[in-house]
């Protein structure tokens, strides 16, 4: 169903409320705001992938001038916790300590040093004497399960929720879900594909690395100012890790220099926090880029085995997806991300008779992975969509025709998506439009250019969710102030995406006012209403719906106040126009300005409302992406020429911001597909630990990215909107690798597809 | 050691440690627009002007500015606001962390290149990384901004 209504605030591009401050370089980020006397906090890090500290002598380090404290595992609380920013009880196991005698990967913190400046701290770090018992490490995730080397042999390993984990087998989570008779349908299929796909621990690489500072406030409470996506979770995690009451912690989120999921984990907040707790002094920790590359929370490395069975005429009858997930040294986000590999890929298809989705997430002595835009769906969609492209080859069918035949359609029940119904879905329109944009029918599969270079096109579908069903909540508070301006308080965190503006647009639409009449704020856990946080593609959809509910409740209070002021017996006849309240029976009216100002004197109705939105479902946005690449067969150089995409995110609230989300997500997908390699030494150290060696796309690497929308109307979303933040990273890997296949006949199932790999593959062909 | 220099048009003197990097020094001077994104001269976030030419302040010793002019975004607020309108309309500010370095590079480009083609602009700005936008919004903003600038000149 298409929404015909004309909107005044939403569905229009509105400049972000903070744009001018950000573009003129105002000091609005964590480090800019920190007190000048903050102690500098840094960590000494493990040089070994698996080791026990048998002795640690910090006496010399403590003598360095300017050093406030040197902390080791002996100085910190011994309650295990998870750093995953998730709703309690978290599905991620409680397997961490602030500092631990057992070091589980290269970079695990050995000691914390706090001092008056960097020079003193660096000097002290070099004067800590550590004796290690070096243990064998399990670095290959294929060999992790039931390996005699245990990453977490400790007795107090503590999963709050049973997700199939077993620390005595290096398993974080495992499960298997069957629907229909998978084996019987496979036995009856004319054509099958059976392939394995591998993706790496790519880094979010937000421009502002992890950082936080902390101080004790005038009430003796610990305040943590953090560049985080999840302030409320940080409050709980910090209190647990520090063994202090949650009432003693306040978390403030200023402007954030990007997150992309990385900051859905409490990567480092507890380090300055414990320094402040123990010394009473303000303390700040700023991660270097090297730390952001090596001791952070990247995408999970995944190996996904896909089998698809189809009839000769291209009906996809059965799918089997088995995911092996590399948790790394700690289990943050592993039990949850791995489920998306199947739950947010298989529902792209709508005609299968059976499916199986099984998975195992395992511990290894490598960097602990976390949340990265796409949250496991990215890996799953690369695997499934690549397998469907391989099926098209086997069937001698155009891969777009194979999708047309099998894709999920609006109104269908999705068995692989908890039996939710696709109430809004224009995937068919997305495919049709994207084919026109890229010129599919003319260009598929390849064109040989006069200079010998070969161009190929490839495409893939994608999906995600909108919030975590049955888990996420969003609360919103709106109040009327002097002269009738509104303050909109949200607990969702704007990390550059523009949600403070988008949510104000939704409020302005409901309250029939200008976006400028609505004031928004960053998040402060003491004053902001509760929100699970900005992750899982929940902000526009879920917090947006809470804004709608709250606005309607507030209008009720505005009318009640007006009825009292105008002495109307019956408030039912009142209309709120945005500027005034009118009584159509008596003809009396009062402006919002007068009403707001009068309400501040001897009034009895609070001109303020708060409502909460739960998450009964998680309606998927859908999209199709198509890539055109040009390959030099002499060198293996792959150039991305064009990336066309059409997105169904429901009603588009702010077209410019939705477009930039899409372009940015695709650029990250391009990086993951072609450039971003994570390489380990045989000892388990990450080799490419800087932007010099780990190349994220520059403006020369992304070709042209073109975005269009094919909005469906989601009945449970604000004005028909669904999410857009994550889905956009999911199509480049399968679309680009298929474009490469269509150009040169080489199938790449192991990302990234570097020039070296293409060159080697071409050499092998000839 | 003592250095004498001009920061955003004002003459100043300071005593600094010889190993102070310009990036850190400028932040201690209150120029918080200057950001660090990588420490290895790959991201462009710390771009400032040294005698009018863009440099990466993470790779310049503060001692080198003795006798020279340094310009940061704090000193180019009017011009920054002008370009910001085009960036903001595209939503291309996003998280904003790379904005100051990028704006410094764009404003230097406008001074240095005469009627640049899109290719020339891309080459000039290639050292300024952005992880949010995918760069397309930058390009749209640049097209409109450059058209406006040409109009002003004509």
Nearest CA in chain B to A702: B134
pLDDT at A391 over 70: yes
Give the length of chain A. Answer: 766
Q: What is the pLDDT of residue A686?
A: 97
Instruction: Give A 5-64 residues with CB within 8 A of chain B.
Output: 13, 15-16, 18-29, 32
Quickly count helices (H) and strands (E) in chain B: 5, 5
Q: What is the pLDDT of residues A402-432, one digit of tens each?
A: 999 999 999 999 999 999 999 999 999 999 9
* pLDDT over 90, % of chain A: 97
Give the alpha-carbon dihedral of A140, A141, A147, A149, to 10 degrees.
Answer: 60
The overall pTM is greater than 0.80: yes
A172 in the Ramachandran plot: left (φ > 0), alpha (ψ -120 to 50) or beta? alpha
Asked if A652 reaches chain B (Cβ–Cβ under 8 Å), the answer is no
In a domain, A487, yes or no: yes
Q: A455 with A500, same domain?
A: no
B149 in the Ramachandran plot: left (φ > 0), alpha (ψ -120 to 50) or beta? alpha
In a domain, A360, yes or no: no
Q: Strand pairing of A354-363 and B53-56?
A: unpaired
Q: What is the pLDDT of residue A4?
A: 61
Q: How is residue A351 written in tokens?
A: 């005609």
Task: Give the residue among A346, A435, A422, A430 at the shortest CA–CA distance from A623.
Answer: A430
Q: Which residue ranges form the domains of chain B, and what is each CATH number? A: 2-74 (3.10.20.30), 76-153 (1.10.150.120)
pLDDT, mean over chain A: 97
Query: Integer distance in angstroms from the first to the last C-alpha of chain A?
Result: 53
Q: What is the pLDDT of residues A37-70, one digit of tens each?
A: 999 999 999 999 999 999 999 999 999 999 999 9
DSSP state, residue A542: I
Q: How far apart are CA A486 and CA A302, in angstroms?
A: 47
DSSP state, residue A672: I
Q: A238 with A97, same domain?
A: yes
Instruction: Give B 41-80 residues with CB within 8 A of chain A.
Output: 41-43, 45, 72-74, 77, 80
Q: What is the pLDDT of residues A293-337, one digit of tens each?
A: 999 999 999 999 999 999 999 999 999 999 999 999 999 999 999
- CA angle at residue A381 from A376 to A383, to 5 degrees? 105
Q: What is the pLDDT of residues A200-215, one digit of tens each?
A: 999 999 999 999 999 9
In a domain, A629, yes or no: yes
User: Domain range holding A529?
Assistant: 19-26+472-613
pLDDT at B151 over 90: no
> Nearest CB to A692: which of B42, B74, B96?
B42
Q: How is residue A575 written in tokens?
A: 């209309």
Find chain A residues with C-beta within 8 A of B48's C-beta: none
Residues 6+ apart with CB under 8 A from A611: A475, A476, A546, A549, A550, A553
Q: How many CA atoms lie within 13 A of B154 on its CB side?
A: 7
C-beta separation of A709 from A663 below 8 A = no
Q: A257 with A127, same domain?
A: yes
Q: How is residue A293 written in tokens?
A: 């590359």
Last residue of some domain: A598, A613, A628?
A613
Q: A435 with A531, same domain?
A: no
> Nearest CB to B132: which of A209, A496, A656?
A496
C-beta separation of A43 from A110 below 8 A = yes
Q: A520 with A641, same domain?
A: no
Q: A485 with A575, same domain?
A: yes
Q: How is residue A655 written in tokens?
A: 């077209």
Q: How far apart are CA B36 and CA B43, in angstroms?
A: 9
Find chain B residues with C-beta within 8 A of A656's C-beta: 89-91, 137
DSSP state, residue A106: T
Q: What is the pLDDT of residues A81-115, one digit of tens each?
A: 999 999 999 999 999 999 999 999 999 999 999 99
C-beta separation of A727 from A619 below 8 A = no
> Nearest CB to B90: which of A18, A256, A660?
A660
Q: State the burial class of residue A612 (Cβ atoms within 10 Å of its Cβ: 0-12, 13-18, 19+).
A: middle
Nearest CA in chain A to B75: A24
Q: How is residue A391 written in tokens?
A: 């099926």
Last residue of some domain: A294, A326, A346?
A294
> Nearest CB to B99: which of A13, A23, A204?
A23
Q: What is the pLDDT of residue A570?
A: 73
Contact A690 B40 (CB under 8 A): yes
Work out the minimum CA distance from A23 to partner chain B, whole angstroms: 5
* Residue with tokens 């989570």, as numbered in its chain: A173
Q: For the sheet containing A589-591, what is the strand order? A: A574-576, A580-583, A589-591
Contact A208 B97 (CB under 8 A): yes
In a domain, A660, yes or no: yes
In a domain, A301, yes or no: no
Q: How far apart are CA A235 and CA A201, in angstroms?
A: 28
C-beta separation of A616 from A466 below 8 A = no
Q: A592 with A550, same domain?
A: yes
Q: How far apart are CA A200 and CA A221, in angstroms?
A: 41
pLDDT at A464 over 50: yes
Work out the minimum CA distance from B154 to partner chain A, whole angstroms: 27
Find chain B residues with C-beta within 8 A of A699's C-beta: 122, 125-126, 128, 130, 135, 138-139
Q: How far apart are CA A360 and CA A331, in angstroms?
A: 12
Give how many domains chain A has, as a whole number.
3
Nearest CA in chain B to A28: B32
Q: A462 with A488, same domain?
A: no
CATH value at residue A661: 3.30.365.10
In a domain, A739, yes or no: yes
Q: A540 with A641, same domain?
A: no
C-beta separation of A103 from A75 below 8 A = no
How far is CA A445 from its chain centroid?
33
> Nearest CB to B90: which of A26, A656, A696?
A656
Q: How far apart are CA A705 and CA A731, in angstroms?
A: 13
Q: How far apart are CA A267 and CA A211, in angstroms?
A: 9
Instruction: Give B 13-32 residues with CB within 8 A of chain A.
Output: 32
Q: What is the pLDDT of residue A1?
A: 42
Helix axes A377-395, A399-406, angle to 10 degrees: 110
> Nearest CB to A257: which of B38, B88, B96?
B96
Last residue of some domain: A269, A294, A319?
A294
C-beta separation of A457 from A470 below 8 A = no
Size of the A and B interface in Cβ pairs below 8 Å: 183
Q: What is the pLDDT of residues A116-137, one digit of tens each?
A: 999 999 999 999 999 999 999 9
Q: Over range A733-739, report the average pLDDT.
A: 98
Q: What is the pLDDT of residues A325-372, one digit of tens each?
A: 999 999 999 999 999 999 999 999 999 999 999 999 999 999 999 999
CATH value at residue A262: 3.90.1170.50
Preceding amide of A752 cis, omega within 30: yes
Task: Give the residue among A525, A410, A540 at the shortest CA–CA distance from A467.
Answer: A540
Work out the minimum CA distance from B151 to partner chain A, whole angstroms: 23
Q: What is the pLDDT of residues A239-298, one digit of tens each?
A: 999 999 999 999 999 999 999 999 999 999 999 999 999 999 999 999 999 999 999 999
Interface test with B, best of A12, A14, A23 (most B CBs within 10 A): A23
Task: Give the residue among A555, A581, A583 at the shortest CA–CA distance from A570.
Answer: A583
Find chain A residues with C-beta within 8 A of B106's C-beta: none
> Nearest CB to B87: which of A13, A23, A209?
A23
Q: Where are the alpha helices (DSSP H) in A100-159?
A: 118-125
* Residue with tokens 């602009």, as numbered in its chain: B121
Task: Give the residue among A197, A187, A174 at the shortest CA–CA distance from A357.
Answer: A174
How much is the ipTM here?
Answer: 0.98
Q: How many CA atoms lie within 13 A of A321 on its CB side?
A: 32
Nearest CA in chain B to A669: B134
In a domain, A332, yes or no: no
Contact A692 B40 (CB under 8 A): yes
Q: A644 with A765, same domain?
A: yes
In a domain, A300, yes or no: no
Residues 6+ apart with CB under 8 A from A622: A348, A408, A425, A426, A427, A430, A461, A462, A463, A647, A648, A727
Q: How is residue A534 written in tokens?
A: 């900005």
Q: How far apart are CA B147 and CA B140, in angstroms?
A: 11
Across-strand partners of B90? none
For A511-535, the DSSP string reads: HTS-GGGEEE--EETTTSPPB--S-
SS3 content of chain A, % helix, strand, coil (to 5): 30, 25, 45
Task: Give the residue among B112, B115, B44, B103 at the shortest CA–CA distance from B75.
Answer: B103
Q: A45 with A106, same domain?
A: yes
Q: How far apart are CA B130 and CA A163, in angstroms?
A: 38
Q: A631 with A551, same domain?
A: no
């Amino acid at each position: 169903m298409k929404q015909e209504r004309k909107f005044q605030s939403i569905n229009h591009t509105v400049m972000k409320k903070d744009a001018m401050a950000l573009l003129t370089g105002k000091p609005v980020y964590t480090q800019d705001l920190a007190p000048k006397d903050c102690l500098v906090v840094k960590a000494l890090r493990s040089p070994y992938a698996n080791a026990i500290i048998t002795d640690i002598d910090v006496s010399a380090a403590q003598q360095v001038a300017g050093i406030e404290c040197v902390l080791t595992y002996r100085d910190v609380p011994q309650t295990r916790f998870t750093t995953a920013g998730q709703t309690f009880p978290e599905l991620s196991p409680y397997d961490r300590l602030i500092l631990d005698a057992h070091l589980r990967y290269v970079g695990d913190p050995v000691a914390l040093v706090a001092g008056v400046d960097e020079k003193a701290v660096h000097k002290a770090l070099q004067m800590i004497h550590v004796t290690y018992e070096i243990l064998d490490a399990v670095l290959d995730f294929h060999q992790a399960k039931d390996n005699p080397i245990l990453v977490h042999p400790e007795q107090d390993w503590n999963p709050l929720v049973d997700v199939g984990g077993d620390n005595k087998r290096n398993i974080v989570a495992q499960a298997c879900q069957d629907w229909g008779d998978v084996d019987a349908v496979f036995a009856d299929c004319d054509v099958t594909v059976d392939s394995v796909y591998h993706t790496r621990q790519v880094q979010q690489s937000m421009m502002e690395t992890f950082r936080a500072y902390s101080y004790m406030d005038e009430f003796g409470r610990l305040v943590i100012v953090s560049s985080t996506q999840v302030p409320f979770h940080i409050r709980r995690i910090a209190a647990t890790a520090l063994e202090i009451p949650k009432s003693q912690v306040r978390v403030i989120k200023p402007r954030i220099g990007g997150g992309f999921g990385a900051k859905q984990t409490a990567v480092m907040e507890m380090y300055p926090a414990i320094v402040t707790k123990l010394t009473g002094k303000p303390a700040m920790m700023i991660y270097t880029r090297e730390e952001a590359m090596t001791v952070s929370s990247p995408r999970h490395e995944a190996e996904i085995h896909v089998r698809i069975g189809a009839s000769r005429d291209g009906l996809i009858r059965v799918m089997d997806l088995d995911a092996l997930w590399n948790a790394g040294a700690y289990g943050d986000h592993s039990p949850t991300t791995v489920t998306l590999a199947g739950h947010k890929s298989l529902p792209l298809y709508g005609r299968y008779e059976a499916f199986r989705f099984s998975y195992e997430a395992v511990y290894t002595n490598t960097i602990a992975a976390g949340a990265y835009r796409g949250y496991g769906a990215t890996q799953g969609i690369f695997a499934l969509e690549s397998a469907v492209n391989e099926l098209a080859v086997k069937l001698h069918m155009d891969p777009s025709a194979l999708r047309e035949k099998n894709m999920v359609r609006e109104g269908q029940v999705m068995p692989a998506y908890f039996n939710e119904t696709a109430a809004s879905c224009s995937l068919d329109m997305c495919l049709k439009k994207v084919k026109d944009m890229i010129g599919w029918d003319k260009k598929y599969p390849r064109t040989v250019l006069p200079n010998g270079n070969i161009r190929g096109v490839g495409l893939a579908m994608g999906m995600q969710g909108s919030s975590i069903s049955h888990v996420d909540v969003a609360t919103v508070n709106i109040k009327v102030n002097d002269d009738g301006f509104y303050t909109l308080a949200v607990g969702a965190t704007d990390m550059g995406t523009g949600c403070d503006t988008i949510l104000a647009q939704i409020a302005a639409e409901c309250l029939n006012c200008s976006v400028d009449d609505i004031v928004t704020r960053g998040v402060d856990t003491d004053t902001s209403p509760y929100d699970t946080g900005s992750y899982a593609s929940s902000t526009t959809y879920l917090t947006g719906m809470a804004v709608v509910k709250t606005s309607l409740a507030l209008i009720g209070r505005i009318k009640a106040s007006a009825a009292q002021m105008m002495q109307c017996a019956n408030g039912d006849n009142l209309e709120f126009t945005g500027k005034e309240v009118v009584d159509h029976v008596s003809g009396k009216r009062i402006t919002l300005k007068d009403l707001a100002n009068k309400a501040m004197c001897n009034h009895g109705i609070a001109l303020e409302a708060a409502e909460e939105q739960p998450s009964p479902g998680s309606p998927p946005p859908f999209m199709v992406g198509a890539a055109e690449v040009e390959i030099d067969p002499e060198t293996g150089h792959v150039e991305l020429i064009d990336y066309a995409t059409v997105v169904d995110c429901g009603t588009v609230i702010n077209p410019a911001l939705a477009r930039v989300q899409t372009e940015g997500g695709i650029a990250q997908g391009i990086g993951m597909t072609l450039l971003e390699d994570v390489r380990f030494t045989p000892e388990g150290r990450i080799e490419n630990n800087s932007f010099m060696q780990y190349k994220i796309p520059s403006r020369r690497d992304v070709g042209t990215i073109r975005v269009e929308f094919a909005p469906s109307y989601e009945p449970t979303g604000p004005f028909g909107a669904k999410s857009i933040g994550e889905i956009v990273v999911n199509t480049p890997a399968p679309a680009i690798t298929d474009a490469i296949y269509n150009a040169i006949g080489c199938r790449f199932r192991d990302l990234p597809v570097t020039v070296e790999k293409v060159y080697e593959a071409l050499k092998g062909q000839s | 050691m003592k250095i004498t220099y001009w920061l955003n048009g004002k003459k100043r003197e300071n005593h600094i440690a010889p190993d102070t990097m310009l990036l850190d020094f400028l932040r201690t001077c209150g120029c918080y627009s200057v950001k660090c994104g990588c420490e290895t001269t790959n991201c462009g976030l710390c771009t400032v002007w040294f005698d009018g030419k863009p440099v990466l302040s993470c790779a310049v010793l503060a001692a080198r500015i003795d006798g020279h002019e340094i310009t940061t975004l704090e000193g180019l607020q009017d011009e920054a606001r002008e370009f910001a309108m085009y960036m903001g309309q595209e939503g291309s500010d996003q998280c904003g962390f790379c904005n100051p370095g990028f704006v410094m590079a764009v404003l230097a480009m406008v001074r240095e290149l005469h009627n640049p083609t899109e290719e020339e602009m891309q080459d000039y700005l290639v050292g300024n990384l952005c992880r949010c936008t995918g760069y397309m919004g930058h390009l749209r903003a640049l097209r409109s901004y450059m058209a406006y600038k040409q109009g002003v000149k004509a």
